[in-house]
Structures are given as C-alpha cells and as structure tokens.
Amino acid sequence: MGAAREPVRAGPAHPLGLHRVRIPHPGDLVSSRPQALTEWAFGKAGEIGGIVRGVNDVVVVPSWRRLREGEVSEKAPGEFVTIADRRAEDMLSERLTRLLPGSATVGEEAVGRDPQVLDRLHSDAPVWIIDPIDGTENFIAGSPRFTTLLALAWRGTAVASWIYVPMLQLLGTAQLGMGATLNGVPVAPKINPPDLTRVKVALSRPRWWTPDTHRWATNLDNAGIEWSSFDTAGLGYLHLLTGRHDVMIMTWEHVWDHAAGMLLHTEAGGRVTAADGRLFQLGGGNRLPLIAGPGPNTDRRIRRVLEQAPPVQATCRRRLRDQAEFL
C-alpha cells in the first residue's frame, strides 16, 4: 500500500469572486485534465509567483548593470544570452519541477542547446514554459524593461501564467477560465473598438522589420490607424492589459515568448490568432504574423488592412523611430 496522501484542501476565494476550488494532490495531476491542473495552479499561484520573484532577487537583479566580461555571449547573430539567463532558467526549472513532481520544462536556453526539448510540449506531462529574461538586450543595456515569463501547460493548453517585471514591480497572472490580474487587481474584459481609427496598434522595433512589416506600417498609415513599436513580448502583452495598446502584431512564434502573455490576454477577453485566423498553437506551425487583439471583429479588420497591396511608390509616412513606450 502506498503512503497516505494529504486530503484535498479547499482553495482560497478567487479575486473575481468565482467559486472556491479544490486543490488536488500533485500526484493526481500528471496525465490529468486541464481543470485539475488549473485548480492546482490557482491554489499555488502565490507560491509560484514567489518562486519567480525569488529567482529574480537571487540571480537576475544582482546581475543587472553588473555584468562582467565573459558573462554575455551571442548565441545567434544579433541574439544574446547572459549568465543570468542561464542561471535563472536552471533555478526556475529545478524549483518548479520539485513543486510539481512529474512535470517537465521547456526553457528558451534549453531549447537553444537542444531543439528536441520542444517535444515535451506534446507529452502527457504538465510543462513549465520558461523565458528567464525576456528582453535580454534591454537587460544588457541596463534598461529596466525586461521580464520573466512563465506558463504552465498540458497537452497544448496553457492553464496558468505569470509575467514579472522586477524593476517595475509588476506581476501579471492568469489561470484558465479564472480571469487575469495585474498586481492582484482583476483586469476588465477587452472591448472591440467600433472604429479602427481608434485602435492603437503595436509593431516590433523597426530594426527587426522585414519588407512585410514596412508594408503593414504603410497600410496602417493609409487607413489612419495609430501605431507604435514595442520592445519585448512580455511588456507588449502587459501593454495590452493596461490599454496602452489594443492590438499587437508579431512575426515570430517562439512559445516561451507567447505562452504566458497569450493566456493573460485571452483571460482578459482578448485572443491571439495566426494569419489564417486560427488560434495560436503552443506546439508551433502558426502562420505569421500573429495578431493579439480584443476580439474577432477587430482581428479580422486589422488583418484585411495588413493584406492590402499598398499604392505604387507608397512609403510609410511616419518617421521610423526605435522607441519604447513605458507602462
């Protein structure tokens, strides 16, 4: 006979006033259904948020503006990694899998070393999706605009997420079907703006633009739609929560950049879709660009604007500026 298990406990009241949940034993969660995993994550949300904060306090923040020679390397052209990225991912992986026995991790740095790590997304085990420092370039430059992104997923469904901005003291959290919060305050559901000229669109920094991105910016200008640039995925998704942006257009699908923010955004009433209109898939194969918007009406209208052929010789009328908007 196995060891006796701790009895199921009643969880705390949800900040949105939803029913109290029952927190299963971790051993019941492997190969379980998303609802049980979501309830477990809700009951552990504060503890998991504490783990994310603790790793930042011990590893990330002490290295900010204090990186030494040899602690920054280029893992691909224009893509940098620091000793803090690697140490933070290792520490998060160890603490989170210990908290949830039988779970696995998919971290940005681990995938960089071995792309087959992504196969864990398709396994029967719960998976922690980790970006230890989103905005590494900002981190290296000494900017406070970097985040830690964390999501818990099972069989392609994100069930809980955390976005933490240590230098700005912001923490966004969400659990599937339970809404989203920013610093503990419930986020109001998104509303589709009735007029596209009132929609605020965010594109990636101009230095990363492709010819398609230039065309999209020109089309947005021609449609009278306001746009600006964002510098990190994590802060971009938080901008959607706060209303700084209504729509974010992204040209990459790395799961560690999107899993946490996607759940926050969808739990606030929005959605993230691929170019073919399908919902974003954690396992990949999404047609780009991705559009994070307040709902299907706005998404479809923005997509039609992007797909238009601009007039011959048309150029983006706005001065391209590598700007970062602050929360």
Q: Is 318 helix (H, G, I), strand (E, B) or coil?
A: coil
What is the DSSP pairing of strand 104-107 with strand 127-134? Answer: parallel
Phi, psi (5° rounding) for residue 245?
Answer: -125, 155
For 81, the enclosing helix (H) or strand (E) is strand 79-82
Q: What angle do CA 58, 62, 68 make, to 5 degrees?
A: 130
Each domain of the chain, given as residue ranges in start order, spans: 9-186, 196-307
pTM of the model: 0.87
HSE-up of residue 235 (Cα within 13 Å, Cβ side):
25
CATH code assigned to 9-186:
3.30.540.10
The residues pairing with 105 across neighbouring beta strands, listed in sequence order, are 128
What is the distance between the alpha carbons of residues 84 and 87, in angstroms, rounded to a whole number?
5
If one counts every other C-beta atom within 10 angstroms of the C-beta of residue 280, the result is 22
Closest CA to 289 of 246, 237, 228, 248: 248
The CATH T-level fold of domain 196-307 is D-Maltodextrin-Binding Protein; domain 2 (3.40.190)
What is the distance between the alpha carbons of residues 185 and 263, in angstroms, rounded to a whole number?
16
- pLDDT in 10s for each residue of the chain, 327 residues: 343 333 333 333 333 333 333 444 545 554 456 889 999 999 999 999 999 999 999 999 999 999 999 999 999 888 999 999 999 999 999 999 999 999 999 999 999 999 999 999 999 999 999 999 999 999 999 999 999 999 999 999 999 999 999 999 999 999 999 999 999 999 988 777 778 888 999 999 888 898 999 999 999 999 999 999 999 999 999 999 999 999 999 999 999 999 999 999 999 999 999 999 999 999 999 999 999 999 888 999 999 999 987 655 545 555 444 444 444
What is the distance between the alpha carbons of residues 169 and 282, in angstroms, rounded to a whole number?
28
**Per-residue CA distances from 273 to 90, 155, 212, 247 (Å):** 31, 19, 18, 11
What is the distance between the alpha carbons of residues 204 and 220, in angstroms, rounded to a whole number?
14
